[in-house]
Amino acid sequence: MNLISWLLLAALSALWGGAFLFAKVAVSEIPPFVLVFLRVAIAVALLQGVLYLSRQRLPSDRSSLGAFLLLGLLNNVVPFSLIFWGQTGIAAGLASILNATTPMFTFLVAAVLFRQEEVSLSRIAGVLLGFAGVAAMLSASLAGLTSDPLWAQAACLGAAVSYAFAGAFGRRFRGTPPLVTATGQLTASTLIMAPVALLTAGSWSPVDVSLLVWGNVLALGVFATALAYLLFFRLLARAGATNTSLVTLLIPVCALLFGHLLLGERLYPVQFAGLAVLLAGLVLLDGRAVRALIAARR
């Protein structure tokens, strides 16, 4: 993780930190699976235009199309659907805590199951410390673990597992331009979600949706999806699956800051303490400080 990778991670965290807030507002008036379709459809419409203007093309061979289809399922269709469905039963804070387990699952999938990355005690400790920091920052939301529906919590954990496999599988696209990869997976996701949205829409009508909600849907599609995935695949190629999944630890930090700066929500000492623990976990995962300390003792 060099400086550019950390900057990409911070930018991605800010974009996805807002996504939980956008989704919580939008899912109050739009069915979850319809919202998933709108999110990916808006994003792919934008990216297809950018792809055309950049004179790049999606590969059309069977192997590439199958890869985009699987990536779209793992990185969009399954996790978006589970998170939006889960957020109909639990608060955004608890959903983001459960989503912050992604680095743990990613480490198990990428480093242990597929052996794509190094296994070390410092990295394991870093993941656990990072999650502990997130839990401390959002400790008020942890009350929902005992009172909120188990199915909603399981849905958000399922999304984290899906993201973990997506991060490991996404490594195969390291030689593909991020714009092509992002457009390919979102095109596949849109095609998958179109019939699902039609079958689950019920009596829902777009004319009944408020302008505020449509604004949040637009923000989800343009910023939290189209722009975010361009950054995601660039970061994945540079830093690997586990390091990229650290974004889910930083998302709650961004959500807290947005709440403080935009909504005037108060920050408490326990949240600053949690941030300190989270930063310690990130330092361990980065590894350079640990290696420097070991070298200094020799």
Is-above-0.85 flag for pTM? no
Whether residue 112 is predicted with pLDDT greater than 80 in this model: the reply is: no
CA distance 243 to 5: 9
Whether the pLDDT of residue 168 is over 80: the answer is yes
Q: What tens digit of pLDDT does each residue of 42-88 get?
A: 999 999 999 999 999 999 899 999 999 999 999 999 999 999 999 88
What number is the average pLDDT over the span 89-102?
Answer: 80
Contact 165, 109 (CB under 8 A): yes
* Residue 264 identity: G
Q: Which of 268, 191, 261, 181 is nearest to 229 (CA)?
A: 181
The per-residue pLDDT for 216 is 95
Helices (H), the chain: 3-26, 32-53, 62-72, 78-86, 92-99, 102-106, 121-137, 144-147, 150-170, 178-200, 211-221, 228-239, 241-245, 247-263, 269-286, 288-297
Between 163 and 256, residue with greater pLDDT: 163
Q: What is the mean pLDDT of residues 130-140?
A: 76
Q: Where are the domains of the chain?
A: 3-297
Alpha-carbon dihedral of residues 235, 236, 238, 242, nearest 10 degrees?
Answer: 110
Q: For a pLDDT cut of 70, what percent of the chain falls above it?
A: 90
User: Which residue has tokens 């992002």?
Assistant: 182
240: closest CA among 294, 155, 171? 171
